[in-house]
Amino acid sequence: MTEKQHDKVIILDFGSQVTQLIARRVREAGVYCELLPFSTPLADIKARAPKAIILSGGPASVTEENSPRIPAGLLEMGLPVLGICYGLQAMCAALGGKVEGSDKNEHGREFGRAKIELNDSPLFSGVAKKEVWMSHGDSVTRLPEGFTAIAHTNTCPFAAVADEARKFYGVQFHPEVVHTPDGARMLKNFLLDIAGCRADWTMAAFRDESIAKIRAQVGKGRVICGVSGGVDSTVVAALLHEAIGNRLTCIFVDTGLMRHNEATEVVGLFRDHFNIPLIHEDAGALFLERLAGVDDPEKKRKIIGKAFIDVFTAAQGKAGEAEFLAQGTLYPDVIESVSPHGGPAVTIKSHHNVGGMPKDVKFKIVEPLRMLFKDEVRALGRELGIPEKFIGRHPFPGPGLAIRIPGAVTADKVSILQKADAIFIEELHKNDLYNATWQAFAVLLPVKTVGVMGDGRTYDHVLALRAVTSVDGMTADFAALPHDFLGRVAVRIVNEVRGINRVVYDITSKPPGTIEWE
């Protein structure tokens, strides 16, 4: 089992927005880690046999009575501990130190970049850049017994503290964010030198272990895997194929609503490149038929979701008897989130993707990526020999181009949009801008405007270009693409794509906009 072979670090989440970043940094250092809510019972933590504990930051104040606490007994396990921001404060409070709000202590709040003075400590070995990112209201004002300050800033005398005998460390700043340039080094020092973890978490190792695990789970059984051309389902399929060969059958529901040439590329990748058994359900006509005349965005999404399930279910018959269904669930979907405010979020859009199918009791589920972050899935994909084109491709929504055609969807509109979108993407690649954007695409508007081409009047569609920068799609900024670049793309689109005579650029961030238009 993967988890047993690697040294493991437990990160206790106190609700910071960047806790997942800590986990990613730890894994980048080659150490396997898992994220658990701060409220996890001590017995569960012990059962996982961690080598070290990291306490995350969080929005609460330890000066408040009901704020999150470190599980009783955790600090008596004899393990190295690193507290970050709130984690440092919670540790100091638990061990008899004092934490005060900014109104009660002379040092006060500190947000943003800060210069730091470092003492000699194993935590800082090899650290050259004396700059850190601060974001705190409360401060530690008295250290627990056994602790000394190992770093300070102008305003924070306890910017980093340690009880080196017990291997307890705490930093008031955030080593996990890029604004602490040597933060990754500090985390690595803690993990490898202080806690003595082995740096053996690599995607090459994961691949081998995961193949063994899949074989143990599936035995002689057969597996069905839905693929979309997206990186997650492609990696799941390639991994399963290595594990069980032709006892895997992939089903590709081709909605006809994919990007230019994409369906052909997906079929080529599976059949020619990997030689994986693939059922290609060319269902474009069915999707268009069911979408005919429908212009409400939520109705469109629901229709597509339903059609997808219908086609997929019908295709299962062709795959032979299978007991297992593979899914591309990733770690961020699995992590139990610590929401400081609680309560369910409002549904902005009903999402649809291959993993979003209703639970089918007929199948046992295989989820080989459920402990991986997206960047790890990409690394694993490279390890499995998936071409870069598929690995580095921008995200694409399950409902496809239908939600990039506000109003009713027709075959003509899909074809116009595919051509325009392909030009935009081609130009982004040519100008080295593709990877500078998180997602970029075209939207065909249901608005016609007057133009002039040659000596004639035109009356055609407006096309909107959308390009954003983002980390996870939850928030986004419009990408500040150069004006001359946008100008060249607009000229090409109007010249080459019949049906479009005007191009506009969307400069809305998320929030208040969403990335997609529907």
Identity of the residue, 284 or 395, whose beta carbon is nearer to ligand XMP in the bound complex? 395
The helix (run of H) or strand (run of E) holding residue 181 is none
Applying CB under 6 A, which residues contact ligand XMP? 349, 351-353, 395, 397-399, 439, 473, 510, 514-516
Identity of the residue, 62 or 476, whose beta carbon is nearer to ligand XMP in the bound complex? 476
Residue 7 CA to residue 196 CA, distance in Å, equals 9
Residue 389: CB minimum distance to ligand XMP, A: 18
C-alpha distances in Å from residue 460, one per residue of 260, 449, 450, 517:
21, 6, 7, 20
Q: Does residue 172 contact residue 140 with C-beta atoms inside 8 Å? A: yes
Identity of the residue, 170 or 230, whose beta carbon is nearer to ligand XMP in the bound complex? 230
Residue 426 is among the residues annotated as catalytic for this protein: no
Q: Which of 34, 100, 110, 176 is catalytic?
A: 176
Residue 176 is among the residues annotated as catalytic for this protein: yes
Q: Which of 136, 174, 260, 280 is catalytic?
A: 174
Residue 395: CB minimum distance to ligand XMP, A: 4
DSSP string, 438-457: SEEEEEEEEEEEEEEETTEE
Identity of the residue, 168 or 396, whose beta carbon is nearer to ligand XMP in the bound complex? 396
Residue 470: CB minimum distance to ligand XMP, A: 8
Residue 383 CA to residue 235 CA, distance in Å, equals 10
**Cα 442 → chain centroid:** 23
Residue 10: which residues within 8 A CB-CB, separation 6 or more? Answer: 33, 34, 36, 45, 48, 50, 52, 53, 54
Identity of the residue, 191 or 250, whose beta carbon is nearer to ligand XMP in the bound complex? 250
Residue 488 CA to residue 300 CA, distance in Å, equals 33
Residue 9 CA to residue 14 CA, distance in Å, equals 16
Backbone φ and ψ of 451, nearest 5°: -140, 180
The helix (run of H) or strand (run of E) holding residue 467 is strand 456-470
Residue 437: CB minimum distance to ligand XMP, A: 11
Residue 402: CB minimum distance to ligand XMP, A: 10
487: how many CB neighbours lie within 10 A of its CB? Answer: 12
Region of 220 (left: φ > 0; alpha: ψ -120 to 50; beta: rest) is: alpha
Residue 386: CB minimum distance to ligand XMP, A: 19
Residue 348: CB minimum distance to ligand XMP, A: 6
Which of 176-213 are b and which e, b meaning 16 or more Cβ less than 10 Å from the residue's Cβ?
bbeebebbbbbbbbbbbebbebeeebbbebbbebbbeb
Identity of the residue, 370 or 510, whose beta carbon is nearer to ligand XMP in the bound complex? 510
- Torsion of Cα atoms, 275 then 276 then 279 then 281, to 10°: -80
Identity of the residue, 226 or 398, whose beta carbon is nearer to ligand XMP in the bound complex? 398
Residue 481 CA to residue 88 CA, distance in Å, equals 41
Identity of the residue, 215 or 351, whose beta carbon is nearer to ligand XMP in the bound complex? 351
The first and second tokens of residue 244, run together, are 């069980």
Q: Which of 33, 85, 225, 250 is catalytic?
A: 85
The first and second tokens of residue 348, run together, are 């902005």
Residue 29: CB minimum distance to ligand XMP, A: 29
Look-up of token digits 């194929």: 241
Catalytic positions are: 85, 174, 176
